[in-house]
Amino acid sequence: MGKLLLCLWFTRAFQASSLPPAPDELIRGTIAYHDPGGVLLTSTVRITVDESRVDGTSRKTTATIDYPRHRFELHRSMKNGTSVELSSDGDRLEARLDGSSDFSEEDAKRYRITPERVRWWRDIYHYLYGLPMKLVDPGTRLASAVERVRFAGKDVYALRVTYDPDVGNEIWYFYFDPDDYSLEGYRFYYDEAKGDGEYVVLDGEIESGGVRFSRRRRWYLNRDGSYYGTDTIESVQLNPK
C-alpha cells in the first residue's frame, strides 16, 4: 500500500508540474527570457535585415525603430538597384524613391510607398521586432488559458491573443518553448474561419544590449502551409534612452 500511494503521489506531482502556466505567467516568463533588463521598449533599435522571397527576389532593409517616441525610419535596397526610404514622426510621413520625393503614382503603387503603407510598415516593424515584449501593450487581450500544441514539429505552449477593436482586428497565436518560454513562432488570421493569414517560424538568436532577438523569420501561408520567404537579421544595435 505504501508503494502504491508513493507512485500515485509522484504521478500527481508530475501531472501538476507539466500543466501549462497561466497566461500572465507565460508572458512574464517569455519577457524575462528575451528582455531580462526590461530595456527594449525604452530604447531605439537599428536593425539590418536580409529579406528574401521564394520567387528569387530579395531586398536589404535597415530600419531604425524608436520605441518610446514611436518614430520610424526605413531604408530598403531592392535587387534591381532601386532604393526606398520611409520615415514616420508623429503625423509627418515621408517617402523617397532613389533619393527623390518626386515619383509617379505608378511607382508609389509598385513599391508600396503610399501614406497608408508607410504607417503600415511603421506599425509592423514596431510590433514584430518588439515581440514578445509588445504583448503587454494596452488593448491586448490574452486568452484565459495556455494550451499544449504541435508547431513546426515541436511541442510548444500556445496562447491566443486578440486586441481591442481600436487597436487591431487580427487574431494571433503565439508559440513558446515549454522549458525556457522563448518565442518559437506566431500565427495570425484576418478571418480565422476562412483560414487566411500567415504563420512565422522563428530560428536562431542575435543579442544586443541584453535583448535576445529572433534572428530568422520563415514565412508561410495558413491556407496551405506554402513557404514564401525568410527575413534574416544581419545586425542589430540597441541604444537605451
Residue 19 has pLDDT above 80, yes or no: yes
| Residue 181 DSSP code | -
State the chain's mean pLDDT as an integer.
92
**Cα→Cα distances 100→74, 84, 119, Å:** 15, 9, 19
One-letter amino acid identity for 207?
E
* pLDDT confidence tier of residue 2, bands split at 50, 70 and 90: low
Four-residue CA torsion sign, 163, 165, 166, 171: positive
Residue 9 has pLDDT above 90, yes or no: no
Rounded to whole angstroms, the Cα distance separating 25 from 63 reads 31
| Residue 192 DSSP code | G
Q: Concatenate the DSSP letters of all residues of 124-173 into one string.
A: HHHHHTTTTGGGGSTTEEE-SS-EEEEETTEEEEEEEEEE-TTT---EEE
**Taking the C-alpha atoms of 43, 139, 176 and 128 in order, what is their torsion angle to the nearest 10 degrees?**
-50
Residues in the chain, total? 241
Please give the average per-residue pLDDT across 65-85, as a whole number.
92
Four-residue CA torsion sign, 92, 98, 103, 107: negative
Q: Report phi then psi at 26, rounded to 5.
A: -65, -45
Please give the average per-residue pLDDT across 186-195, as a whole number.
97
User: Half-sphere exposure of 162 toward its Cβ, with a 13 Å CA cutoff?
Assistant: 10
pLDDT at 195: 96
Residue 200, all three cell numbers: 512565422
| Residue 100 DSSP code | B
**Cα→Cα distances 230→26, 76, 91, 212, Å:** 27, 16, 31, 19
pLDDT at 1: 45
Residue 10 has pLDDT above 60, yes or no: no
User: Half-sphere exposure of 226 toward its Cβ, with a 13 Å CA cutoff?
Assistant: 7
Residue 240 has pLDDT above 70, yes or no: yes
Rounded to whole angstroms, the Cα distance separating 234 from 215 reads 8
pLDDT at 115: 87
Residue 76 has pLDDT above 60, yes or no: yes
CATH of domain 21-240: 2.50.20
Query: Taking the model in full, what pTM does it have?
Result: 0.89
Four-residue CA torsion sign, 203, 49, 44, 210: positive
